[in-house]
Amino acid sequence: MRPVDGRHHELGDRLRVGRVFLTCREAAAAAMKESGAAAGDRQGSGGRIVTTASVLWQVASETPGLSAYVASKGGVVQLTRQLAAELGHDGIRVNAIAPGWVHTDIGGGMLREDAPGMEAMQAEMEGNTLLGRLGYPADMKGLALFLASPASSYCTGAVHLADGGWTAT
């Protein structure tokens, strides 16, 4: 058994939860200022905040070195829910998108489409996804637009999965 590398914990926490909190704080302040502050508008017109979590907030992965990452994404989920509770009275809705495995540069680029030596790992991930592929950043766009639009006016404090069906199995 390999020991858990604790060097990344502080960095993961500071870069994810702390920065998400600061960004949400500024977004909430701007939304309150724009809407004339706490008018008690519960129709969802006070603003929208969409955070990015990960499906790894609710499931574990055997991929080594993810401990700080998954813990911080769990923190983002709870921060999203708490902010929804605190800001709902001001008509500000706060939701999270939780992507599954997505082709990005995260993790040193191991999920990039052209990541050398990662073909077998990516093929296994694809095999565990109902849609049979990894996602792309553009796959998150429609969900983000929905959550930022009036069409989602009754949605707040929720985590919306975009994982190609990975967590459905």
Tell me whether residue 79 is in a domain: yes
Q: Which of 22, 72, 32, 53 is nearest to 147 (CA)?
A: 53
Tell me whether residue 134 is in a domain: yes
Q: Domain total for the chain? A: 1
Tell me whether residue 148 is in a domain: yes
What is residue 45's predicted lDDT score, i.e. its pLDDT?
65
Using CB atoms within 10 A of its CB, is residue 16 exposed (0-12), middle (13-18) or buried (19+)? Answer: buried
Using CB atoms within 10 A of its CB, is residue 133 exposed (0-12), middle (13-18) or buried (19+)? Answer: middle
Cα angle for residues 92, 73, 115 (degrees, 5° grid): 120
Tell me whether residue 1 is in a domain: no
Q: Which domain, by its residues, includes 81? A: 7-168
pLDDT in tens, the chain (169 residues): 445 455 555 555 556 788 899 999 999 999 988 876 555 545 446 899 999 999 999 988 887 778 888 888 999 999 999 999 999 999 999 999 999 999 998 777 888 888 888 899 899 999 999 999 999 999 999 999 999 999 999 999 999 999 999 999 8
Residue 89, domain CATH: 3.40.50.720
Tell me whether residue 28 is in a domain: yes
Tell me whether residue 30 is in a domain: yes
Q: Report the catalytic residues.
A: 69
Give this prediction's pTM. Answer: 0.84
Tell me whether residue 71 is in a domain: yes
E strand intervals along 2-91: 47-52
Tell me whether residue 2 is in a domain: no
What is residue 63's predicted lDDT score, i.e. its pLDDT?
76
